[in-house]
Amino acid sequence: MGAPSSSRFRRPKAGEDERSPNLFVANCGPAVGVSYEAIGSVFSAFGDVKGIYAADDSGARVIVSYFDEGSAQAAFNSLHSRPCPDLANRFLHIRYSVLEDSPATRHITSSVPVSLVASELNIPGLFLLHDFVSAKEAEELLAAVDSRPWNNLSKRRVQHYGYEFCYDIRNVNTKQCLGELPSFVSSIVERVSSFPNLDDSTSVALDQLTVNEYPPGVGLSPHIDTHSAFEGLIFSLSLAGPCIMEFRRYLEGSWLLNSTPGMNMAVENPDDYSSVLRRAIYLPPRSMLLLSGEARYAWNHYIPHHKIDMVNDTVIRRASRRVSFTFRKGAGFLIRNYTTEHSMTWCKNDQIAVGVGYAQGLETDVQEVVLSSKVRKYDLRSNDVTANETRDFYRTLDHVVLSTPSETIHFMSPTPSPECPVTVDTLDGR
């Protein structure tokens, strides 16, 4: 849960009426092993709780907001500077807090209004279909994955089909095909081909499926699926439980190139809301989300690590599990990552690490090729490298960056097989 939009809390000023329906509570929060759900349970004994918000980035201080001052006063009198048995006997240090709303603080927020339909978010390429599968189909899909082995990650469990996604390099292992997608998702794959928001010319040949199981309180860090790993359509089916998904687009100048090759785009301070556009949508069970175009390439998607979600004025508790089925199409061996006129708005050459290659400090008019860990540079103006370079040479490339005075195109190739012809071109046709 987060602070109301365009608002923040502060300590009452000298001479100001201290009474308030909002309490600043220190020594409790996720960082000290106390969940928002547990805090809400304790404080709701004194009245209806409007919301529980992180007071700062410490994870050990929260704001408890009631609908009325009387409830806040009752909680203050009972809990301040006393051990709380229901919160591991922690001593709670409480003071009143005032809700402040001013233009100077409008960007200091930790939540956004939650939409129920994708069209309200005004993000091109984002679509959501409710009731994409029936309740019976959902049960059958969950039973099918539960009958198969799970791989345990630090906070969730996963299954991979088609190709395995390697989290250490943020890419698929194209050298090892796990087989075709399982038969229990055949009807789903067939159904997405007729997704109403796809162009008639769009071909949907999905060949990679990742199934994630999230326990209560576990979310997803802000990220963009690696451009070089997958093509332009990503479908995500939510089952078993609901969640809120937030979308973030970081503004010009807020990017920071990650220091680890192959990681997704990173921002210097993801919680610096003065440099980010934010939207949020509620994903109910059995809904299918489509990320395409700008929504897929330009916006980070993120699931808050909460056990309780606030959807407008309604408190929704996370279910005992949420299972997502994410369908993608592998990008192949050698791809042109950015194929639209807006591509460089989405990915700038000094901002992004692509696949196993690492684009950093490129010169404007130079083609840089990373080949067997060695860098070869060619000046395009002298035609050292053209589209007619030998195929065998390009089969050995890890990463290719073609730069012209106006554009930069990134390619990634984990050594194509002879059966996969490859070509390299530039925007001006050379």
Rounded average pLDDT per 10-residue block, the chain, 430 residues: 47 64 89 86 88 80 88 92 90 85 38 89 94 96 97 89 72 73 94 72 75 90 72 90 90 34 32 70 96 86 84 84 91 37 32 26 29 32 36 36 41 33 29
Same domain, 83 and 147: no
Q: Which of 132, 428, 417 is nearest to 290 (CA)?
A: 132
CA–chain centroid gap for 393, Å, is 36
Structural domain contains residue 324: yes
Are 160 and 270 contained in the same domain? yes
| 207 domain-assigned | yes
The C-alpha atoms of residue 352 and residue 399 are separated, in whole angstroms, by 13
pTM for this prediction: 0.54
Domain boundary among 328, 357, 378: 328
- Nearest CA to 240 out of 155, 321, 346, 170 is that of 321
| Sign of the torsion angle spanned by Cα atoms 281, 276, 232, 220 | negative
Structure token pair of residue 358: 């690492």
* Single-letter code of the amino acid located at 311: V
Q: Residue 45 in 3-state DSSP? A: helix
Asked if 90 contacts 249 with a C-beta cutoff of 8 angstroms, the reply is no
Domain end marker among 302, 328, 354 = 328
Asked if residue 93 is part of any domain, the answer here is: yes
Q: Structural domain tally of the chain?
A: 3
Are 236 and 315 within one domain?
yes
The pLDDT value recorded for residue 368 is 34
Question: By the 8 A CB rule, do 21 and 9 touch?
Answer: no
> Is 391 found in the same domain as 313?
no
Instruction: Check whether residue 53 and residue 144 sit in a common domain.
Output: no
Within a domain: 363: yes
Same domain, 145 and 44: no
Q: Are residues 194 and 278 in the same domain?
A: yes
In this structure, the answer to whether residues 158 and 45 fall within a common structural domain is no
Q: Are residues 180 and 97 in the same domain?
A: no
* 69 in any annotated domain: yes
Given phi > 0 = left and psi -120 to 50 = alpha, else beta, which region is 174? Answer: alpha
Is the residue at 419 inside a domain? no
Same domain as 399, residue 295: no
Separation between Cα atoms, residue 26 and residue 37, nearest integer Å:
16
Q: Looking at residue 56, what is its pLDDT?
A: 76
Between CA 120 and CA 287 the distance in angstroms is 17
Give the CA dihedral 217, 218, 224, 225, nearest 10 degrees.
-150
**Distance (Å, whole) CA 224 – CA 106:** 26
Alpha helices (H) along 14-149: 36-43, 69-79, 135-146
Q: What is the pLDDT of residue 11?
A: 66
- What is the sign, positive or negative, of the torsion defined by CA atoms of 153, 291, 302, 189? negative
CATH code for the domain of 77? 3.30.70.330
How crowded is residue 319: how many other Cβ atoms within 10 Å of its Cβ? 16
193 and 254 housed in the same domain: yes
CA 7 vs. chain centroid, Å, equals 24
Q: Which of 48, 80, 105 is the last residue of a domain?
A: 105
Residue 175 shares a structural domain with residue 101 = no
Residue 337 lies in a domain: no
The whole-number pLDDT of residue 192 equals: 87
Q: Which residues contact 423 (CB under 8 A, 6 or more apart)?
A: 387
Give me the pLDDT at residue 128, please.
95
Domain range for residue 97? 8-105
Q: What is the pLDDT of residue 367?
A: 32
Asked whether residue 261 is assigned to any structural domain, the reply reads yes
**pLDDT value, residue 154:** 79
